[in-house]
Structure 1
Amino acid sequence: MDPHGKSSPTPRKALVIGGSLGGLFTATALRAVGWEVDVFERSTADLDSRGGGIVLQPEVLRAFSFAGISAHGALGVRSHDRLFLDHGGEVLDRQLMPQTQTSWNTLYAALLDHFPAEHYHRGAALSGIEQHEHTVHATFANGRKAHGDLLVGADGAGSTVRQLMLPGVAPSYAGYVVWRGLVDECRLPAAARPLLHENFVFQQDRDSMMLQYMVPGADGATASGRRRFNWLWYLKAEPGVALDAVLTDRNGKRRSHSIPPGMLSAEQERWFRQTAAARANPAFRALIDNTDQIFVQAIQDLQVPRMVFGRVLLTGDAAFIPRPHTAGSTAKAAANAVALAKALDGTADPDHALEIWQQGEHAQGEQMIRWGIRMGNRIMGIAMH
């Protein structure tokens, strides 16, 4: 008997490609309805935060509840007001808008702790997929083979599953990037604290936007003094020479869409800090001055024409990459996972269930993409075509 009261005499098996948040949301949700699940992650090492802070959306809490995950302590940090500052640091507008922010590390640790370690396989880079009748066979670069009733591509923006199923579909560059950083709460100078402490703060210019909010510490701590300030600054970078410079790391390697913490080139770091000195308000300058490892990501758009290919399917950022202004990427992956588990729970016809699941999730993905593009282009002063 599974946790939802359904009898499962012959458990079906799912292969989940991608061991980050999207993959673990899917894996824990399917296990909650009686499926056997193996997760395959291409990285050989433990994953760490590439994205920093995340706004904690209701869909994430629903996914935790559905999977029976009880977090140890608070999942996030509450913010109270939304503040809009000018270049000099004066408050242009203040709105009471409570919400909770969490971090990639916090969610990942809670999900991974709930999933059996023996079914989480690192160093497994997918190389091929074959379907036979109602089974899926996966092969991996290390020679491993696996088979199941379902294969879920939850392997993010650079999805191998998507490349195999939809070889002509790839993310497109939106025309701007986001520079990011994290600062331990205890490192921020006292003069910058009154505006930033437990508030969601913006500086909006004609063609850029900077914002910050507090998130748990690197160890998931939410106690005062042990948290972090998470900041983001959206700036334009024209395709070609300008974007190439941003995405070339300290070793001279041109990365596909992001430079991780610690790998920013000295030239780009110098340019960015000079830009911040000239354009950021004093509180935000204090954040940037106290950030040791700045990282940067190109903003991308992606939507797939379909999410289901027989017994192979795409979820999360492998299917749709929403602009970060929606605060919807993690929530979308969580919602995809719960909807999938509910659709498959107890069904005698998984293929029909997958088609029904696709109809609802694809429509919602398209809606989020459209909303994010409109919002992002308006924020950045980019004309719609």
Structure 2
Amino acid sequence: MKSSGVPKALVIGGSLGGLFAATALRAIGWQVDIYERSPAAMDSRGGGIVLQADVLHHFRYAGIHPAGALGVRSHDRLYLDREGSVVHKEPMPQTQTSWNTLYSSLFSAFAAEHYHRGKTLVDLTQNEHRVTAIFADGSTAEADLLIGADGSGSTVRSVVLPGTVPSYSGYVVWRGLVDEEQLPDFAKMQLYEDFVFQQDPESLMLEYMVPSVNGSVNPGERRFNWLWYLKAAQGAELDAVLTDSDGRRRSHSIPPGALATGQDAYIRGMGERQANPAFRELIRQTQDIFVQAILDLKVPQMVFGRVLLTGDAAFVPRPHTAGSTAKAARNALALAQTIDDIGDLDKALLAWQQQQLAEGMRMADWGVSMGNRIMGIAQA
């Protein structure tokens, strides 16, 4: 970027989206600081992720060299019925990774002294060329650019687009992870290194293998990652799903270890009645089941002067697209490339927005169409 002095960015949100943005801008010579609201080190969240080319392109651009393989290769797609018989099989090689594998690679590549924990954004101000972040502890930070990479519940978005919040899709996803060695042989043989589905009316279950918690992809050390999409009506039913073991109604997800006893019993009972034998065993062997409401979000713009929204702070695509993480990587990579190519920051931001806004809209709309078709929800 053509500028006198080193340009500076503030990134709000220290998960994958924030690290993608920070490492991409750093690659073009920017000074970047990340501000993460959580005071503790971030742990494994979300489970498995299908590894897309956008993530690999970002890693190469940002000069990130993972210590080992990023994921587990699957070979075929299998569709099972409730009895466990194969009703369809087709070769479709792909690679699956995990949140903690990507986070570890990105975090290790970013300077620790520029990653600030326990910093909760409460407001921001800006003028023509500078933006100031104001935090709950009374501290402030100033830069040329502020990036809202703080997820679907974005505080940055609440400031620049008040009232723009995610909407509930009508269904949730129950999730779990099982260490490879824990699964009985009969189930392991049917699921091993394949992407496996069971689809029923208003229900979709799927499974694939991901690296271990410490990133190992060695056979015997990996994990089976499973998901089960089921409807939950807005109101009392959804409230029950999202009320944790302490009786607190969460906004959109219950993390591992916090699921209420009644909801844990519900999904395990559903597994006994409706899952094929291999999937049933996966649910039985899962110690901590967790659940997330499936949300939709589209913003009308992504750039607001020297403030921008990226990743899930701007668009939340349905998970059937396998595109949320890839979208965050693509947003970040395109931002850095556009700024570097154009030079003038304000012109670059508008050019970036034009492309990324259109791509975000397309992915969000595609996800809604696909998800509603899978779950038997009438199109609006």
Q: How many residues align?
A: 380
Q: Which residue of 2 aligns with 1:367?
A: 362
How many angstroms apart in 2 are the aligned matches of 1:144 and 1:49?
Answer: 29
The structural deviation recorded for 1:347 is 3.9
Q: Which residue of 2 aligns with 1:122?
A: 117
How many angstroms apart in 2 are the aligned matches of 1:153 and 1:210?
Answer: 33
* Conservation of the 8 A alpha-carbon contact between 2:195 and 2:208: yes
Instruction: List aligned pairs for 1:187-336, cutoff 5 A.
Output: 187-336=182-331
Structure 1 stretches (4+) deviating beyond 3 angstroms?
A: 6-9
The structural deviation recorded for 1:348 is 3.8
TM-score w.r.t. length of structure 1:
0.98
Q: Which residue of 2 aligns with 1:31?
A: 26
The structural deviation recorded for 1:11 is 1.1
How many angstroms apart in 2 are the aligned matches of 1:181 and 1:281?
Answer: 16
Output one character per residue of 1:194-232: Cα deviation in whole Å (capped at 9) or x when no partner.
110000000000110000000000000000010000000
Give the letter aligned to residue 186 of structure 2.
Answer: A
Q: Which residue of 2 aligns with 1:16?
A: 11
Q: Where in structure 2 are there 5+ consecutive unaligned residues?
A: none
* 2:96 paired with 1:101: yes
Where 2:333 maps in the other structure, the secondary structure is helix
How many angstroms apart in 2 are the aligned matches of 1:102 and 1:127?
Answer: 34
Where 1:173 maps in the other structure, the secondary structure is strand
Give the letter aligned to residue 353 of structure 2.
Answer: Q
Q: Where in structure 1 are there 5+ consecutive unaligned residues?
A: 1-5
Output one character per residue of 1:167-214: Cα deviation in whole Å (capped at 9) or x when no partner.
110000000000000000000001101110000000000110000000
* Conservation of the 8 A alpha-carbon contact between 1:13 and 1:149: yes
Greater shift, 74-83 or 339-348, is seen at: 339-348
User: Over the residues paired in the alignment, what is the CA RMSD in angstroms?
Assistant: 0.9
* Conservation of the 8 A alpha-carbon contact between 2:24 and 2:61: yes
How many angstroms apart in 2 are the aligned matches of 1:179 and 1:80?
Answer: 24
Give the letter aligned to residue 140 of structure 2.
Answer: K
Q: Which residue of 2 aligns with 1:144?
A: 139
Where 2:215 maps in the other structure, the secondary structure is coil
* Conservation of the 8 A alpha-carbon contact between 1:8 and 1:34: no
How many angstroms apart in 2 are the aligned matches of 1:111 and 1:263?
Answer: 27
Match among 69, 72, 80 for residue 67 of structure 2: 72
Output one character per residue of 1:26-50: Cα deviation in whole Å (capped at 9) or x when no partner.
0000000010000000000011122
How many angstroms apart in 2 are the aligned matches of 1:220 and 1:299?
Answer: 27
The structural deviation recorded for 1:346 is 5.7
Q: Which residue of 2 aligns with 1:3?
A: none
How many angstroms apart in 2 are the aligned matches of 1:173 and 1:221?
Answer: 35
How many angstroms apart in 2 are the aligned matches of 1:11 and 1:263?
Answer: 44
Give the letter aligned to residue 308 of structure 1.
Answer: V
How many angstroms apart in 2 are the aligned matches of 1:50 and 1:173?
Answer: 20
Give the letter aligned to residue 54 of structure 1.
Answer: I
* 2:334 paired with 1:339: yes
Give me the identity figure in percent.
Answer: 64
Output one character per residue of 1:241-283: Cα deviation in whole Å (capped at 9) or x when no partner.
1000000001100000000000000011111111110000000
